[in-house]
């Protein structure tokens, strides 16, 4: 089995690792070894931690420097310094910075090894370094090292909990890892057994839930974000995840990590309006670390509302982002935006450019690469309806589709997508009979088609009638409605 296959057993859905974990550190924050090293989570350390998670990186570093001047034997700053690496490397994806910062990971571990082993913070801080660098290394394709650091983090946190049962700070990280481990496909379970990893979704989620509703104040910010993302992606409960953001009163104004999480979840759950509102209401200034992904999210939200000012934000993202993820996707979005503006030269330029930039690792980038090589620009009205639907404005999408001049739908893909999008719009608006009518039209008209709209319609309509069946509507209605009776 390849090392990449081994690591893939630990991977979760799409954006989960990219949004769940954070980082930190620089060599100047590492003091030389002295006698009497201790672990003290002082007020300075608490302030630095919250500054890092709000993405006020320089403020966090300044506070840690102050702590080291006041308390040079404290080893908590060694762990907290790693948050700079965690956050900047994870979200801004700079391969040069990754190679430069990796040696700090080993240096910090070495310093912790010489510290007070009788403190529960000793094992906890080591576990945090492994936990964060597992996330970082996975982002940069070092799958083998990432997998082993995932294991080291898990075993270190478990050892901490076993040695210090009343020490609760390891709980949310154990819970998150248990939930992740539970998603390993059955064919790979032997790997987790060999590595000594045991995970249960319900147990992991309960551990996280108990922690976020406990009286513990340290590490609540992270625990809440883990729980929200796991609920969305692993429990497949997007509405519950969005309700948690509201009920937990997360700061989505001055805490940019919360801003990113809330906007990202809104976009993934087809609420472009809420995402745009969150992003426009967030504070952004020189006190925060550069965060081009916020420009990408705002551009995406605007495009799905047919606001072509999205172009400037896609361009800002491309200009400032040093990594590879979503670069192809951003170029495809620019091509579509210029196409809708009837600026065909620019649209074609960005379409051609897709193949020359970024990497095809994310699903979105793979789709963009395929569009560049094989794709075609769709009918403008159908494209508008697609974007509006993806952004959650189903009523407007329906109006666009109903106003569409169907005589212009000369391409088979456009005709099938027009029918399918009508079915989807009616479906989302709870107009069931109309939805099934257009799903069935798509199925009949796409019987011999290479496009996927027929299979999508068939799948969706079967799900719909299966729900109706379970509500005692009767199997005969189900069978007749999908053409089998």
Structural domain contains residue 294: no
The residue out of 205, 231, 257 marking a domain boundary is: 231
Whole-number pLDDT of residue 308: 98
Whole-number pLDDT of residue 452: 57
Distance CA 66, CA 442 (A): 66
Distance CA 383, CA 41 (A): 54
The residue out of 231, 263, 290 marking a domain boundary is: 231
pLDDT tens digit sequence for 191-217: 566 566 776 788 999 999 999 999 998
Q: Are 49 and 110 in contact (CB under 8 A)?
A: no
Structural domain contains residue 443: yes
Structural domain contains residue 48: yes
Distance CA 336, CA 463 (A): 32
**What percentage of the chain reaches a pLDDT higher than 90?**
63
Q: Retrieve residue 429's tokens.
A: 């608006």
62 Cβ neighbours under 8 A, 6+ residues apart: none
**H-run or E-run covering 415:** helix 412-428
For the four alpha carbons of 228, 254, 47 and 152, in that order, the dihedral sign comes to positive
Burial of 281 (C-beta count, 10 Å sphere; 0-12/13-18/19+) = exposed
Structural domain contains residue 245: no
Distance CA 261, CA 90 (A): 14
Structural domain contains residue 354: no
Q: Tokens 């192809």: give the residue.
A: 328
Structural domain contains residue 9: yes
Domain that holds residue 158: 3-231
Neighbouring C-beta atoms of residue 289, cutoff 10 Å = 18
- In the chain, the number of structural domains is 2
Structural domain contains residue 350: no
Distance CA 44, CA 51 (A): 11
The residue out of 231, 263, 295 marking a domain boundary is: 231
Least Cα distance to 276 among 383, 429, 396, 391 occurs for: 391
pLDDT per position in the chain (485 positions), as tens? 444 443 444 443 333 333 343 333 333 333 333 344 689 999 999 999 999 999 999 999 999 999 999 999 999 999 999 999 999 999 988 889 999 999 999 999 999 998 889 999 999 999 999 999 999 999 888 988 998 999 999 999 999 999 999 999 999 999 999 988 877 665 555 456 656 677 678 899 999 999 999 999 899 989 999 999 899 888 888 888 888 988 988 899 999 999 999 999 999 899 999 999 999 999 999 999 999 999 999 999 999 999 999 999 999 999 999 888 899 999 999 999 999 999 999 999 999 999 999 999 889 999 999 999 988 899 999 999 999 999 999 999 999 999 999 999 988 889 999 999 999 999 999 998 898 898 888 888 877 655 555 555 554 555 454 444 444 444 443 344 334 33
The pTM assigned to this predicted structure is 0.83
Distance CA 37, CA 58 (A): 25
> Residue 444 maps to which CATH number?
1.25.40
Whole-number pLDDT of residue 109: 95
């Amino acid at each position: 089995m390849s090392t990449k296959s081994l690591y893939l057993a630990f991977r979760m859905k799409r954006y989960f690792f990219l949004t769940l974990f954070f980082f930190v550190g620089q060599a100047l924050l590492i003091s030389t070894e002295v006698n009497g090293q201790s672990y003290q989570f002082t007020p300075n350390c608490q302030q630095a931690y919250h500054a890092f998670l709000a993405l006020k990186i320089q403020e966090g570093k300044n506070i840690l420097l102050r702590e080291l001047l006041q308390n040079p034997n404290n080893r908590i700053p060694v762990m907290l310094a790693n948050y700079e690496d965690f956050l900047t490397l994870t979200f801004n994806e700079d391969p040069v910075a990754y190679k430069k910062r990796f040696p700090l990971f080993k240096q910090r571990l070495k310093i912790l090894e010489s510290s007070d082993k009788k403190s529960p913070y000793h094992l906890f801080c080591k576990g945090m370094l492994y936990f964060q660098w597992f996330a970082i290394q996975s982002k940069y394709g070092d799958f083998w090292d990432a997998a082993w650091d995932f294991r080291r983090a898990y075993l270190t946190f478990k050892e901490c909990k076993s040695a210090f049962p009343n020490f609760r700070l390891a709980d949310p990280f154990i819970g998150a890892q248990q939930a992740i481990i539970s998603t390993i496909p059955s064919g790979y379970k032997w790997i987790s057994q060999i590595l000594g990893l045991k995970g249960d979704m319900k147990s992991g989620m309960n551990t996280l839930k108990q922690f976020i509703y406990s009286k513990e104040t340290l590490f609540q910010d992270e625990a809440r974000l883990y729980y929200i993302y796991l609920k969305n992606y692993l429990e497949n409960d997007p509405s519950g995840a969005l309700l948690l953001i509201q009920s937990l009163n997360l700061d989505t104004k001055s805490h940019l990590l919360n801003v990113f999480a809330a906007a990202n979840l809104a976009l993934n759950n087809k609420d472009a309006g809420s995402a745009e509102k969150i992003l426009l209401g967030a504070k952004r200034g020189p006190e925060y670390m550069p965060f081009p992904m916020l420009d990408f999210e705002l551009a995406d939200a605007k495009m799905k509302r047919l606001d072509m000012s999205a172009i400037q934000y896609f361009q800002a993202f491309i200009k400032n982002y040093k990594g590879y993820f979503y670069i192809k996707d951003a170029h495809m979005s620019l091509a579509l935006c210029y196409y809708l503006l009837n600026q065909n030269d620019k649209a074609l330029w960005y379409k051609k450019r897709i193949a020359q930039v970024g990497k095809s690792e994310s699903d979105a980038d793979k789709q963009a690469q395929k569009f560049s090589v094989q794709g075609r620009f769709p009918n403008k009205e159908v494209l508008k309806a697609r974007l509006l639907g993806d952004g959650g404005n189903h009523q407007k999408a329906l109006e666009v589709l109903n106003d569409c001049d169907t005589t212009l739908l000369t391409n088979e893909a456009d005709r099938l997508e027009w029918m399918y999008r009508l079915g989807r719009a009616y479906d989302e608006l709870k107009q069931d009979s109309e939805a099934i009518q257009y799903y069935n039209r798509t199925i009949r008209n796409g019987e011999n088609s290479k496009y996927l709209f027929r299979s999508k319609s068939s799948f969706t309509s079967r799900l719909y009638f299966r729900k109706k069946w379970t509500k005692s509507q009767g199997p005969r209605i189900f069978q007749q409605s999908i053409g089998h009776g």
